Amino acid sequence: MENENDKLSEQEFLGKYDANVYEHPSVTVDTLIFSVMDNDSSNYRKLPEKELKILLIKRKDHPYRNQWALPGGFVKLDENLDDAAYRELKEETNVNDVYLEQLYTWGDINRDPRTRVISCSYMALINGNSTLITASSDAGDVKWFSLKSKVIQENKTIFEKGYQLEKKISIMLECGEVKLSCDVLITKKKEHEMISVTRKVLKSEGLAFDHSMIIYYGLERLRAKTEFTDIALHLMEQEFTLTELQNVYEVILDKTLLAANFRRKINMYVEETDNSTKDAGHRPARLYKHKQQKSYDFY
């Protein structure tokens, strides 16, 4: 049976096209801004302890009023996704001139209580110690939160043609007296050669939407890239000691590294300078710099 559209030119078809034939989900962008920052230390003879941090904003409006969330918002009809991510980040936190990488698209049907919302997440690493953050008119506050996670339960089921692995992850976010707690269930299923991964928020105290899932996904990607690339060098000052760099790697990876193995691994990424530290209370240590600025992504 001949279709009426078969008789139309493309220009004629587009002129008659009714965009309301299909329902329109809303589209948002959410951005994960990671940093590794010093804790205050009263002992000047010791290097300050470092923590992995993530930037969160406090919501001023419903839904989830007064809860914390990733910086982000709705995409306008006249802007592309990248532009929306940069605009929302600048508007809500004053963070600008960062290199954002698109991370993942989140589309669970009930992820937003207002309407069907699809979110495209982005991620970046910045030096938080040298970045001024300020909340905008549509964000009640903006703060750096320390980020920690741990596996609190793990079950693996083997069956004839594959397996199913379930991990329950606890995520802790803290900024002063503000403490947020979330539990996420990640299920990986392999059947024949097919692998599927599903994620579910089990508990979210003080963190809006499904942002706990987005944060943990971003953390996994950050750790994977840190293992195999020079991405952590983008968190360092222009010159640094190898001990400082190793501390950053250990904070991100959440494990202790053997100094000799670490130095062999990162040798290709750094080069020695003619400078040394001169801090009181410390033995002078040679300073290094990033050998070359490489382009990188999170995929």
| 293 Cβ neighbours under 8 A, 6+ residues apart | none
Q: How confident is the model at residue 297 (pLDDT cuts 50, 70, 90)?
A: low
153: left (phi over 0), alpha (psi -120 to 50) or beta: beta
CA 230 to chain centre: 17
Percent of the chain scoring above 90 in pLDDT: 71
Measured CA to CA, the distance from residue 286 to residue 212 in angstroms comes to: 40
Q: Which of 180, 182, 148 is nearest to 58 (CA)?
A: 180
Mean pLDDT of 184-198: 95
The pair of three-digit structure tokens given for residue 173, joined into one six-digit string: 């976010």
- What is residue 132's predicted lDDT score, i.e. its pLDDT? 85
Q: Which of 142, 157, 145 is nearest to 182 (CA)?
A: 145
Q: Given the DSSP bridges, would you call strands 26-38 and 117-125 parallel, antiparallel or unpaired?
A: parallel
Question: What's the chain's average pLDDT?
Answer: 90
Measured CA to CA, the distance from residue 260 to residue 273 in angstroms comes to: 20
Q: 124 forms bridges with which residues in the sheet?
A: 33
Q: 């999170």: which residue's tokens?
A: 298
Q: 133 forms bridges with which residues in the sheet?
A: none
CB 31 within 8 A of CB 93: no
Domains of the chain (ranges, CATH numbers): 26-290 (3.90.79.10)
CB 181 within 8 A of CB 175: no
Measured CA to CA, the distance from residue 247 to residue 262 in angstroms comes to: 11
Mean pLDDT of 5-29: 89
Burial 219-231 (b: 16+ CB within 10 A, else e): bebbeebbeeebb
pLDDT in tens, 60-113: 999 999 999 999 999 999 999 999 999 999 999 999 889 899 999 999 999 999
Percent of the chain scoring above 70 in pLDDT: 92
Q: How confident is the model at residue 279 (pLDDT cuts 50, 70, 90)?
A: low
pLDDT in tens, 196-208: 999 999 999 999 9
pLDDT over 60 (residue 299): no
pLDDT in tens, 27-71: 999 999 999 998 755 455 555 688 999 999 999 999 999 999 999
Q: How confident is the model at residue 19 (pLDDT cuts 50, 70, 90)?
A: confident
Instruction: Give first-to-last CA distance, the chain, whole Å.
Output: 46
CB 225 within 8 A of CB 231: yes
Measured CA to CA, the distance from residue 156 to residue 167 in angstroms comes to: 9
CB 133 within 8 A of CB 142: yes
Selected residue with higher pLDDT from 173 and 1 = 173
| 275 Cβ neighbours under 8 A, 6+ residues apart | 239, 286, 287
- What is residue 81's predicted lDDT score, i.e. its pLDDT? 97
Tell me if residue 246 falls in helix, strand or coil.
helix
Residue 72 has, within 13 A of its CA and on its CB side, a CA count of: 26
